Amino acid sequence: MRLSGFSQIFDRSDEYEELISSLSEGHTPVNIVGVAGSTAAHLVFCACERLSKSAIIIASDGIEAENILSDLKLFYGDGAMLFPERELIFYDIDARERDIISQRLTVLEKLKDKKAKVVVTTVSAFLGFAPPREAFDISIRFEEGGKCDIETLADKFIFLGYVREEMVEGRGQFAIRGGIVDFFPHSAENPVRVELFYDEIDSIREFKAVTQRSLGRLEYACAPPANEVLLGRAQRESLITTLNRLSEAENEVLRANIRRDRERLENSVYFPSIDRYIPFIYEKIPSLADYISDDSLIFMCEPFRISESAQRQRNELAESVISFMEKGLIPPCKREWQADYHDVMRCLSTLNLIGISGISHSCPDYRPKKIISIGIKNQAQFHGKIDLFYDAVRFYKRNGYTAVIFGGSEEKAKNIARALNDEEINAVYLEGITSAPVEKQIIVTHGEITRGFEFPPCKIAVIGDKEIFGRDRRRPPRRTVRKGNEKLNSFTDLNVGDYVVHQNHGIGRFTGIKTMTVDGATADYLHIQFRGNDSLYVPTNQLDLIFKYIGKDSQTIRLNRLGGTEWQKTKDKVRKSAADMADQLIKLYAVRQTVKGVAFTPDSDWHRAFAATFPYEETEDQLRCIDEVRADMEKDKPMDRLLCGDVGYGKTEVALRAAFKAVMDGYQVAYLVPTTILAHQHYTIFLERMKPFPVKVEMLSRFRTPKQQKDIIKRAKAGEVDIIIGTHRIVQKDLEFRNLGLLIIDEEQRFGVAHKEQLKEIRKHVDVLTLTATPIPRTLHMSMAGIRDMSVLENPPKDRYPVSTYVLEYNEEIIKEAVLREVARGGQVYYLHNRVQTIERAAEKIRRFSPNLRVAAAHGKMGENELEDIMQQVLDGNVDVLVCTTIVETGLDIPNINTIIVEDADRMGLAQLYQLRGRVGRSNRLAYAYLTYRRDKALTETAQKRLQAIRDFTEFGSGFKIALRDLEIRGAGNVLGAQQHGHMEAVGYDMYCKLLSEAVSLLKGEIPPPSVQTVISLNVNAYIPKDYIKGENYRIEIYKKIAAVENEADRLDVYDEIQDRYGNVPNEVSNLIDISLIRNTASRLGIEEVRQTAEGAVLSYSAEAVLDLETITGLIKKYDGKLLFTPAVKTYLTLRHKDAGLLGHIKNLLQDYNELKQNKK
């Protein structure tokens, strides 16, 4: 443990020793006075380490719990866990987010197995329903070499709350394919694959959900419960009996609910609103309290506040339950819905209970045997005034204190240590504190704490970077960086009815896979329908000629005809357009290389001090982008870099660092944004960050009076303003800069043609950084590689709290409750109504929820000034509910909006919903998203498919790949511009990227080899049997992988993957892989046909093939009479082979041919 020595900081305190003695002897409860807020985390850590015990920490609310958890994570990492509160579901919903359930089940499982080190929770989560301990005793256990009854396995998984799928992509799913069993436990980082040989477990492996490939073997694996409410047969029958009795209720709504729920129970169908029957299932409500072991330490932070919070929460729950009973949503019930607080306290007071409070030692619910006063003082705040910080450290040094300074990131901590030594304050930087801190030493290490403290009795001072820099520093949880190759290709989600693009024939509709036998050989073909009922059957080994069409709305897509020149003309037109675009970019790039620009100086201590004021730890993406911009600015060529990433991905910080770098070299910065409201938001951020430094920041927009604008323009010309942030006002001719060095442009595509022309003039000699909230598609990025300087922020920030997402029929009662609950906790709400004509009616409906609600409407058809005024009111907290269209999809970052309600979610794309959901969950509060569709609406087939995808996405996180894919299209449109986007839609996104890539290669002088499309005619069965891979879209995915086999390494890799995922590979599939390798190798060698004959096989060259006679001669020698070469009008090779195994011989021949050719090079 990196900071194990820190656990000894209180060891010289008599009061602390008294606490340890009381806990060791079981002399509890104990109350500690003089420890406030998150500083309790340090005391918890020290006591747990000293006594080698685990701990449960109970806080009065979520914010306090989060702060304590944050500090404990510094010491324990992932060993410190949060047990979050779960909402009980009384309404009927189709799906809900599983993240919170997974988190809760993980904590409970670790507590039961005594593997949890520290668990932090709130009193409401502590008392609320949790699955009983014995639920974890019925987990399914798999052990290598053990037995498994596959016939009953599916029923066991379903009982545990898992959902059966064809492929496991998210937590809580399982799949059974022949002898392969996949499942994804809530507590695991990766899903598990069990391979059976009859009823024996042959192997157990972890695998990657995105690639479906195995990672490594396991000796055993466990499938614990995936839901909180589990019903055994006896419990189910008992509940059905109860429902029969209740079904005669007078309330009609209640009767209907009970009848529907009874039918679900009789058919063993799980439904989220089973929560409404919890008191009928459990005589005594199980809770987190049941999981506490006798020797754990239980810390209650501010017992008096916890008591108040428990009482308040109990009253609120009682009121809510009565309301639901009156509505007929839950049956009348006199039992409790959560554990009784006083009963729990009586139980806890017999264990190792420690109350911690800042001032009051009042604890109304138990009687402490001892009260110990430990006077820990909160650390003083220095508010970014570094001299005050130096003075405080000098004071500690002079008075014999040991000071431990947590400096944030490693780099920042080292900078602090260097700065202290420069001030002749002897400080040492330590990577970790593994032994007790040396007395009177000033230690600097990396890490973040919520609040520093001072403990005079032990002469200990702890300072966090929050105290030094004066801002609340929050570190997003570290996440796994998504590798580009993990983004599955578009065929993963190809369904019957989807549009596809055939490279040679154009746009058609995919109608399914047909298995056909031709000339005695059975194979699968993709059936594609073109205009006029023209049909094409494409062999599955030619899937590399087909792309899924992704572009404009399917209602406006025009199919091509087979034959004719229409498709070729379209392709030629787009190819020329792509070539023109590439040519323009390359010329622009060349011109920029000849123009002299500003070469900024390397970073100094000022830059490092400025970087240290960033209130988050930089992500890997941000650091890379900051380095790329810094390197560009230090060259003597003008920078023209595009920085891409969605709202909240951290673009502004990259821009801030660039602006500061320019100002430190005496240059001015212009920051151009598309709207007044964004200008104001950026101005506030820049002003706050630049405050400790001698930098003058101003804003030019309609929020400034004409007099103020005139004054700013005058000072800019005189060089008295360093950074000007504004709308298009800053590119007008009356604004002159004395020494402009950097232009930052936010969302350039949102400016008009005239403004873009003015920008072209400005950007000729100054460095330009363009920001866009559009995620740049990786494929497009690769296509433009080398001709455009791009920095890409690919990874979205991880929500501090997951967004609780619900998919449900529109229900005004649910919506009203959601709105009023959010507003009651001081938050704001987005209500998405995507029809301008009826938006005011929707706003009026929301106003009727409560006379005190402040409701505003906003949509894209409003005047710019009117819209900005409304958004400013929202930002200022003067609007409770903003009823709006999808204008919120991108743009402002408003952390106080933590509930979003979307009407008609079935009419929106998955990517759009993903974006909308991302508008909430940007603070440390639990956020909610309600995706609704109209009650009793007859959904179209497309809408049903989309809604199913949304449910899956919400429930399991699968479908995310499709969301990413759709985002690529939006991204491509914004980056390429309207004209290029039109061309892209003419041929589909994938085809456009291919043509653009070819155009770039040609302009770079890279001559591609002639493209030969080889036809294979061999009498062997080569297809994927339906009983081997059942799902059609998964068969297509594997066909696509097989079609891409280029060499022996690819062949083995694909073979291994198929065997890994689906079990032993049938001969038909093995043949298919060989044929794909033959086809692609033959294509590279210029062979257009491989045909079986009575004598063996004939390999015919294309007319364009360049024949290497020396290589062919060497090959004929090697095959000693079995290979003939015939030069003719159509040159060909003849392979004589009548025995079985012709396929293998052709494969070997082509591999030998290719090897000879490569060796000659």
64 and 9 in a single domain? The answer is: yes
Same domain, 418 and 451: yes
Half-sphere exposure of 370 (CA within 13 A, CB side): 19
Please give the structure tokens belonging to residue 1155: 């090897």
Ranges 34-43, 143-152, 390-399: which has the least confidence = 34-43
User: Are 91 and 181 found together in one domain?
Assistant: no
- CA dist 259 and 264 (Å) reads 9
Helices 960-976 and 941-956: angle between axes, nearest 10 degrees = 110
Handedness of CA 694, 699, 704, 705 (dihedral sign): positive
Least trusted range by pLDDT, from 528-537, 944-953, 967-976, 1085-1094: 967-976
Q: Are residues 165 and 304 in the same domain?
A: no
- 313-352 pLDDT, tens digit per residue, is 898 888 888 888 888 888 988 888 999 999 999 999 999 9
Using the 3D structure, point to which of 922, 937, 959 is the last residue of a domain. 959
Structural domain contains residue 1036: no
Flag whether pLDDT at 479 surpasses 60. Answer: no
Residues 902-918 have a mean pLDDT of 78
pLDDT of residue 68: 92
Give burial (CB, 10 Å; 0-12/13-18/19+) of 10. buried
| Mean pLDDT along residues 257-264 | 90
The kind and range of the H/E element at 367 are none
Q: What one-letter code names the amino acid at 200?
A: E
Q: Is the Cβ–Cβ distance between 919 and 888 less than 8 Å?
A: yes
Three state DSSP letters for 990-1013:
HHHHHHHHHHHHHHCCCCCCCCCC
pLDDT over 90 percentage in the chain: 36
| 123 and 147 both lie in a single domain | no
Percentage helix, strand, coil for the chain under 3-state DSSP, each rounded to 5: 45, 20, 35
Q: Give the C-alpha separation, 509 to 848, whole Å.
A: 48
Instruction: Write the secondary structure of 120-148 as one string of H (helix), E (strand) and C (coil).
Output: EEEHHHHHCCCCCHHHHHHCEEEECCCEC
CATH number at residue 192: 3.30.2060.10
* Tokens read off for 1132: 């060909």
CA 356 to chain centroid: 37
The neighbour count for residue 1149, using CB atoms within 10 Å, is 24
Q: Are residues 318 and 216 in the same domain?
A: no
Maximum mean pLDDT: which of 78-92, 755-769, 907-921: 78-92
Give yes or no for a contact between 930 and 902, defined as CB atoms under 8 angstroms apart: yes
Q: Which sign does the torsion angle of CA 118, 122, 124, 125 carry?
A: negative
The half-sphere exposure of 1023 on its side-chain side, counting CA atoms within 13 A, is: 21
State whether the Cα torsion 618-622-624-628 is positive or negative.
negative
Examine residue 551 and state whether it is found in any structural domain, yes or no. no
**Six-digit token string for 1000:** 């770039």
Q: What is the pLDDT of residue 801?
A: 57
Alpha-carbon distance 226 to 139, whole Å? 10
Residue 46 domain flag:
yes
Count of other CB atoms within 10 angstroms of residue 307: 21
What six digits make up the tokens of 226?
Answer: 């995936």
Tens of pLDDT along 1112-1139? 999 999 988 889 999 888 899 999 987 7
Sequence-ordered list of residues with C-beta below 8 angstroms from that of 779, at least 6 positions apart, any chain: 968, 989, 990, 993
Residue 940 has pLDDT above 80, yes or no: no
pTM for the complete prediction? 0.75
Average pLDDT, rounded, for the chain: 84
CA 871, distance to chain mean position in Å, is: 27
CA 884 remoteness from chain centre: 25
DSSP labels for 521-536?
EEEEEEEEE-GGG-EE
E strands within 568-685?
A: 640-644, 668-672
- Pairwise CA distance, residues 711 & 716, whole Å: 9
List the single range of 100-104, 404-408, 775-779, 909-913 with lowest mean pLDDT.
775-779
Domain with residue 1092: its CATH number is 3.90.1150.50
Average of per-residue pLDDT across 931-950: 71
Tens of pLDDT, residue by residue over 658-693, are 999 999 999 999 999 888 878 888 998 899 889 888
Cα dihedral 514→517→521→522 (10° resolution): 40
Please check the confidence at residue 973 and state whether its pLDDT lies above 60. no
pLDDT greater at residue 755 or residue 129 = 129
Is the pLDDT score of 481 beyond 50?
no
Mean pLDDT of 572-598: 79
pLDDT band of residue 1072 (cuts 50, 70, 90) is very high
Mean pLDDT of 621-634: 92
State residue 484's pLDDT score. Answer: 33
Output the CA angle 785-789-794, nearest 5 degrees: 80
Detail the DSSP E strand segments found in 965-1058. 1015-1017
Top-confidence residue, 520 or 183: 183
Q: How many domains does the chain have?
A: 6
Q: Which of 706, 663, 655 is nearest to 681 (CA)?
A: 655
- pLDDT of res. 1012: 83
How far is C-alpha 1018 from the geometric centre of its chain's CA atoms?
46
Question: Are residue 612 and residue 761 in the same domain, yes or no?
Answer: yes
How buried is 226 (Cβ within 10 angstroms: 0-12 exposed, 13-18 middle, 19+ buried)?
Answer: buried
Within-domain flag for 740: yes
- The first and second tokens of residue 716, run together, are 């800019």
In three state form, how does the secondary structure of 54-100 look? CEEEEECCHHHHHHHHHHHHHHHHHHEEEECCCCCCCCCCCEECCHH
Q: Are 1014 and 1082 in contact (CB under 8 A)?
A: yes
Is pLDDT of 470 > 70?
A: no
Residues spanned by the domain of 179: 140-223
Instruction: Give per-residue pLDDT as tens, 549-565.
Output: 876 655 568 888 888 78
**Residue 176 to residue 1126: CA distance in whole angstroms:** 53
- Written as six digits, the tokens of 601 are 């100086």
Nearest CA-CA partner of 1131 in 1099, 1155, 1153, 1156:
1099
Q: How far apart are the C-alpha atoms of 206 and 197, rounded to whole Å?
A: 18
**Rounded distance between C-alpha atoms, residue 708 and residue 592, angstroms:** 37
CA–CA gap between residue 63 and residue 898 (Å, rounded):
15
* Backbone angle region of 185, left / alpha / beta, with phi > 0 → left and psi within -120 to 50 → alpha: beta
- State the pLDDT at residue 476: 38
pLDDT higher than 90, residue 773 = no
Q: Is 1123 helix (H, G, I), strand (E, B) or coil?
A: strand
User: Are residue 783 and residue 811 in the same domain, yes or no?
Assistant: no
The distance in angstroms from the start CA to the end CA of the chain is 56
Strand 723-726 to 668-672 pairing: parallel
In a domain? residue 278: no
**Residue 561 in domain:** no
Same domain? For 102 and 82 the reply is yes
- Answer yes or no: are the C-beta atoms of 43 and 35 closer than 8 Å: yes
The pLDDT, as a whole number, for residue 712 is: 93
For residue 1103, what pLDDT is reported?
85
Convert the pLDDT of each residue in 448-463 to its tens digit: 888 899 998 889 999 9
Residue 451 pLDDT: 87
**Same-domain status, 448 and 352:** no
pLDDT in tens, 365-380: 889 999 998 888 888 8
CA distances from 903 to 456, 813, 843, 870, 962 (A): 58, 14, 13, 21, 21
Domain-embedded: residue 1034: no
| Residues 7-30: tens digit of each pLDDT | 999 988 999 999 999 999 989 999
pLDDT, tens digit, 9 for 90 and up, residues 822-869: 998 889 999 999 899 999 999 999 999 988 899 999 887 887 778 878
The answer to whether residue 545 is domain-embedded is: no
Residue by residue, DSSP assigns 197-208 as ETTEEEEEEEE-
Q: Among residues 469, 484, 500, which one ends one of the domains? A: 469
What is the distance between the alpha carbons of residues 771 and 654, in angstroms, rounded to a whole number? Answer: 10
Exposed, middle or buried, 705 (CB in 10 Å: 0-12/13-18/19+)?
Answer: exposed
Tell me: pLDDT of 486 over 50.
no
> What single letter denotes the amino acid at residue 681?
Q
What is the mean predicted confidence (pLDDT) over 268-294? 90
The enclosing domain of 80 has a CATH number of: 3.40.50.300
Task: Please tell me the predicted confidence (pLDDT) of residue 863.
Answer: 79
Confidence band for 475, pLDDT divided at 50, 70 and 90: very low
Res 270 pLDDT > 70: yes
What is the crossing angle of helices 1109-1119 and 1142-1160, to 10°? Answer: 140
Based on the domain organization, do 653 and 749 belong to the same domain?
Answer: yes
Three-state secondary-structure class, residue 1136:
strand
331 shares its domain with 460: no
Which helix (H) or strand (E) element contains residue 159?
helix 150-159
Residue ending a domain, choose from 421, 441, 469: 469
3-state secondary structure of 173: strand
In this predicted structure, the answer to whether residue 809 has a pLDDT above a threshold of 60 is yes
More confident residue, 943 or 1087: 1087
